[in-house]
Amino acid sequence: MIKRLLVANRGEIACRIFRTAHRMGIGSVAVYSEADVRAAHVRAADRAIAIGSAEARLSYLDGTKVIAAALATDADAIHPGYGFLSENAEFAEAVTSAGLTWIGPPPTAIRAMGLKDAAKTLMTAAGVPVTPGYLGVDQDPATLAAEAAKIGYPVLIKAVAGGGGKGMRKVDKAEDFAGALAAARREAAGAFGDDRVLLETYVRRPRHIEVQVFADQHGEVVHLFERDCSLQRRHQKVIEEAPAPGMDDKTRATVCAAAVQAAKAVGYVGAGTVEFIADASEGLRPDRIWFMEMNTRLQVEHPVTEAVTGLDLVEWQIRVASGEPLPLSQSEIRLSGHAVEARLYAETPATGFLPSTGQLRHFRMPGDVRVDSGFEAGDVVTPYYDPMLSKLIAHAETREAAIASLAQACDCVEVWPVKTNAAFLAACLDHPEFVAGQVDTGFIEARLDQLLVLGAPSQAALGAAASVALVCDERATNEPLSPWLTLTGFRANAPRVNVLRLYREGQALDAPLWAENANQRTVACGPDGQIVVFEAGDAFVFSTSPPHKEPGEAAGNDQILAPMPGKIASVAVADGDAVVRGQALVTLEAMKMEHMLTAPFDGTVETLLVAVGDQVVEGAVLVRLNAG
């Protein structure tokens, strides 16, 4: 058995792996970049070692540094988590060549499934049904455009070496193909160092169904049933569940058998996920589910499988890598109840889901569901890595009960001043069509206006803010608390004052001083007299005085500012160019995603202040425009 395990990753997955290692009596080693010196995963490990600067390619993605760290700390095994180095065959070979145990599939299996076009060819030969499309080696844009026309629009462009939605674009019409292809290639090259793509027919009512498989070194392969990951935004999973709603026994048997066959075809070992796309226009049917790809690693959503099977998948990974047989046979694996997972991100849904960075001055997760997190109060969310803060997982006897439990948990999330998508997640979970199981990968996009309704503070929240404002005002005078405080505006033969004037986002509000249930709201005090009330997954910020505005200050939108720190990925204009409202100006890369900044009106580019590759800080002026 492994004695000391190094995790070549960070954040919640590193913390999650350490928990199992500690339970099994295995020592743990964390690696960290300059940006993660005080990160939660560093604190969670028995030992920690620095491996480089904040940029991932100079630290977490540098396999040589990771292996050196393992040898320097006397680790005898490396677990890659997911992402980063988990699907890098060369890294897996280097790990074993260094005399270390690799907790993952053989390099041959990683290579076989790592390139989507080759994997589909292999699956076709193995009798696994695949999505129709173009898998050719000719990557000339003209050839790809011609093949897209043959397939028929809409088509899907996908990075050959891709995953997680990187390098993926849906194209609805021929005139948009060239631009989408260029963007997909640029994103694929940045994420995977490989800009090759394949084309697929676009399934109009797609469901994303995936099967968890496990194989040992003795030739045994089992499945741990399926997950549904159809609720996505920009091809990134948002909510996952197990089992898939509407999955009958016949369809389940077919798709799970295909997943096992896929794993056997590549001589798989360890944990893997075989992903399928289903045409759900007539419900889930055995003949309308096709192989998409195989992720040769543990998945972010593995906790829902753990919940419905009662198994620890990380423990299985460690035991299989140590040469042990699978702990259970297929007939011994049971499916129990329903589990749902939501991904809590540091982002602002109201502003196009832009990532949010900064210190987590207040960070409180709900206590009645499983929480896998890589952060604690006081930690800093940086712009260098994925913006996921936590995963919330609920398990119950029925799907309806699990959904209700998770929705309530999302309502109870308290994070400030970093913004989160907690209220958005609760809105998704509460949507009647989702509750009814009427889901597909376009669910969120089609209902975005319903799901992004901005919440307003309740009377109870206003009352909580007012009560704290009174206390803060008295404390500011350095006078002791007085019973006369509750008699605000008191005079003989006149009613007491029942409201207090507060301000939120520049708007004056009359907050009730004795609102019902006000004492049930969590309140935090911020700088400059700010009062933060947490409610329904949101953080509502109030002040006791109107916002200050400097003389002559104007809002103006003639300057395009960086919404967050990041790197300029592309520039689409030059000085003097005429632009129209909505036209792309520059693309900013931050937290592993590209964010396109567009012209707010028709006009001309007065000054372009950045170039490709520039690192910019939040609020930096990128472009100046002239209207008209």
CA distance 317 to 546: 57
Who wins on pLDDT, 235 or 364? 364
pLDDT for 488: 46
Query: Dihedral of the CA atoms 20, 25, 31, 35 (nearest 10)?
Result: 60
Q: Where in the sequence of the chain do the CATH 2.40.50.100 domains occur?
A: 559-627
Q: What is the pLDDT of residues 516-574, one digit of tens each?
A: 888 889 998 877 778 999 999 999 999 988 876 544 333 456 889 888 788 899 999 99
Calculate the average pLDDT of the chain: 90
The CATH label, of 2.60.120.200, 3.40.50.1000, 3.40.50.300, 3.30.1490.20, for the domain at 132-201 is 3.30.1490.20
Lowest mean pLDDT among 162-176, 404-418, 431-445, 598-612: 162-176
Q: Look at the domain 4-103 and name its fold.
A: Rossmann fold (3.40.50)
pLDDT at 480 over 50: no
CA distance 276 to 65: 35
The values of phi and psi at residue 225, to 5°, are 70, -175
DSSP string across 535-598: ETTEEEEEBSSPPP--TT-----SEEE-SSSEEEEEE---TT-EE-TT-EEEEEEETTEEEEEE
For the segment 257-268, the average pLDDT, to the nearest whole number, is 94
Six-digit token string for 568: 């300029």
pLDDT for 472: 67
CA distance 27 to 434: 42
Position 95: which residue type?
V
CA distance 23 to 13: 16
Q: Vertex 89, ends 210 and 82: CA angle to 5°?
A: 45
Is 207-451 CATH 3.30.70.260?
Answer: no
CA distance 18 to 10: 11
pLDDT at 493 over 80: no
Q: Where in the sequence of the chain do the CATH 3.30.1490.20 domains occur?
A: 132-201
The strands making up 221-233's β-sheet, listed across from edge to edge, are 289-295, 270-279, 206-215, 221-233, 236-242, 338-345, 388-396, 370-373
CA distance 296 to 319: 17
pLDDT for 10: 96
- Mapping DSSP to helix (H, G, I), strand (E, B) and coil, where does residue 4 land? strand
pLDDT for 470: 79
Q: Where in the sequence of the chain do the CATH 3.40.50.20 domains occur?
A: 4-103
Catalytic position from the list 169, 207, 227, 297: 297
CA distance 388 to 353: 12
Among the listed residues 373, 549, 415, 476, the one whose alpha carbon sits nearest the alpha carbon of residue 13:
373
Contact 360, 385 (CB under 8 A): no
Other beta carbons within 10 angstroms of residue 70's beta carbon come to 24
CA distance 274 to 283: 20
| Catalytic residue status for 447 | no
Mapped to the 3 state alphabet, what secondary structure does 485-539 carry?
HHHCCCCCCCCCCCEEEEEECCEEEEEECCCCCHHHCEEEECHHHCEEEEECCEE
Contact 530, 465 (CB under 8 A): no
CA distance 397 to 404: 12
Q: What is the pLDDT of residues 375-413, one digit of tens each?
A: 999 999 998 998 999 999 999 999 999 999 999 999 999
Who wins on pLDDT, 83 or 232? 232
pLDDT for 473: 59
For the segment 81-93, the average pLDDT, to the nearest whole number, is 92
pLDDT at 156 over 50: yes
Q: Vertex 378, ends 376 and 383: CA angle to 5°?
A: 85
pLDDT for 496: 54
Going by the DSSP 8-state scheme, the letter that residue 126 receives in this structure is T
Among the listed residues 543, 348, 208, the one whose alpha carbon sits nearest the alpha carbon of residue 533:
543
| Percentage of the residues of the chain whose pLDDT score is greater than 70 | 94
CATH number, domain 559-627: 2.40.50.100
Q: Where in the sequence of the chain do the CATH 3.30.470.20 domains occur?
A: 207-451
Q: What is the pLDDT of residues 213-227, one digit of tens each?
A: 999 999 999 999 999
pTM of the model: 0.83
| Percentage of the residues of the chain whose pLDDT score is greater than 90 | 72
pLDDT for 548: 63
Q: How many helices (H) and strands (E) does the chain have?
A: 17, 36
pLDDT for 497: 56
Six-digit token string for 88: 């890098």
Position 75: which residue type?
A
